[in-house]
Amino acid sequence: MSTSAYVHIPFCARKCNYCAFYSAATNSVKIEKYVSALENQIRNSPSKGEKIKSVFFGGGTPSVLPPHLFERLLSALFDTFDLSDAEITTELNPDSVDNILDPSVFTKFTRFSMGVQSFDDEELSVLGRIHNADQAIKAYEKLRSAGAKNINIDLMLALPGENHFQKLEKTLETAIKLSPEHISAYILTPEENTPLYEKYGYFNDDIAPDIYRHVCNELASAGYEHYEISNFAKKDYRCVHNMCYWTQQKYLAFGPTACGFDGTSRFRIDCSTDEFIEKNGLVEPFVEETLSSTNLEEEKTMLSLRLCDGIDKQTFDRIISDKQKKAFVDNLLSSSLAYVNDKGGLSLTDDGFLVSNEIIRNLM
């Protein structure tokens, strides 16, 4: 079992209209105090000395950190763990790319994940994004010119407003032309208590399946492997960090609200940013659940079905030894929602991914 690390940066330059994540507006005094607490948590990690397979800075918007503070966090990680072969990713937004381009931090990252969402200015304004399409393209080009070899862009599908389908075409065309190594494409889920939900309510249930299928086809034609429900990668560019979540590897959690897994228990740094600062990062993790071997096995099946690799032959054989489940699987196969993969296991098709929750419920 390998170990990864998630580092949470709970600050954003501005709140987007669809966002229900916990994040606070940037405030330089608070950010500095937060970084000190986070640095202290990292340096006092009980896993000190361990080899780490991937580090992921997420948020919030990690790129709001000024380079000298980002550098402190990276040094703490490099001093505390063995990161010699690690994939090290930061999320960033186009408006703050310059912080990431500072050589003191840029050279430490092996992967960059940029929140783009759409290359259409009207859609970006509906979403309340702080950047426009041109800024996103320029930020991408700046990363490339600086030498970035592994870039992900995040896109959002089934957006409200007029002519989404045409706008999406433009977004896909631009994305494919830029040729990032990885694209994440999520169907927007309207979250209650957000400005977007107040304005549009639930608006995309009808259009989402067609849009999803279209995006899967376009990205497959452009050479991207559809390796997880919402993730597409060029050959050998699957996200190592996300694969760790989907294959039940261990991950450490740094920062308030960050979640971790030690192989059997899921835990959370369960406190506010203020409390985290007050305790100088030394917050006892809260164990949310401890999984029995049956729970772990079930979860493994569920996670495997999110991946194009699917469930292995042994698990598949066990499932179809149950008469009722076999009938369900036969039905999936005949309706092209699933297929027997080249290793004799079971994988879902794009249509199957669209109803994966229901499929998983029936196979458990």
Q: In the set 2, 15, 78, 142, which binds ligand SF4 (CB under 6 A)?
A: 15
Number of chain positions touching ligand SF4 (CB under 6 A): 11
Nearest distance from residue 277's CB to ligand SF4, in Å?
19
Stretch near ligand SF4 under the rule CB under 6 A, chosen from 18-26, 168-176, 182-190, 319-327:
18-26
CB distance 133 to 119 below 8 Å: yes
Pick 54 or 93: Cβ nearer ligand SF4: 93
Residue 255: partners with Cβ closer than 8 Å, 6 or more residues away: 6, 7, 8, 9, 10, 38, 41, 269, 276
CB distance 291 to 44 below 8 Å: no
Nearest distance from residue 102's CB to ligand SF4, in Å?
20
Q: Does 93 bind ligand SF4 (CB under 6 A)?
A: yes
Pick 193 or 293: Cβ nearer ligand SF4: 193
Rg (CA), the chain: 21
- Please tell me the distance from the alpha carbon of residue 249 to that of residue 184, in angstroms, as a whole number: 21
Q: Does 124 bind ligand SF4 (CB under 6 A)?
A: no
Burial level of 131, CB count in 10 A (0-12/13-18/19+)?
buried
Pick 115 or 281: Cβ nearer ligand SF4: 115
Nearest distance from residue 18's CB to ligand SF4, in Å?
7
Taking CB under 6 A as the rule, which mask of x and - marks residues 248-287 in contact with ligand SF4?
A: ----------------------------------------
Q: Does 301 bind ligand SF4 (CB under 6 A)?
A: no
- Please tell me the distance from the alpha carbon of residue 38 to that of residue 9, in angstroms, as a whole number: 9
Burial level of 71, CB count in 10 A (0-12/13-18/19+)?
middle
Query: To which residue do tokens 């065309």 refer?
Result: 173
Q: In the set 9, 19, 348, 354, which binds ligand SF4 (CB under 6 A)?
A: 19
Closest residue by Cα to residue 220 from 357, 344, 355, 353? 353
Tell me whether strands 259-261 and 265-268 are parallel, antiparallel or unpaired: antiparallel
Task: Output the six-digit token pair for 267.
Answer: 């835990």
Pick 116 or 332: Cβ nearer ligand SF4: 116
Q: Does 59 bind ligand SF4 (CB under 6 A)?
A: yes
Pick 187 or 363: Cβ nearer ligand SF4: 187
Q: In the set 35, 52, 60, 185, which binds ligand SF4 (CB under 6 A)?
A: 60
Binding residues for ligand SF4 (CB under 6 A) = 12, 15-16, 19, 21, 23, 59-61, 93, 115
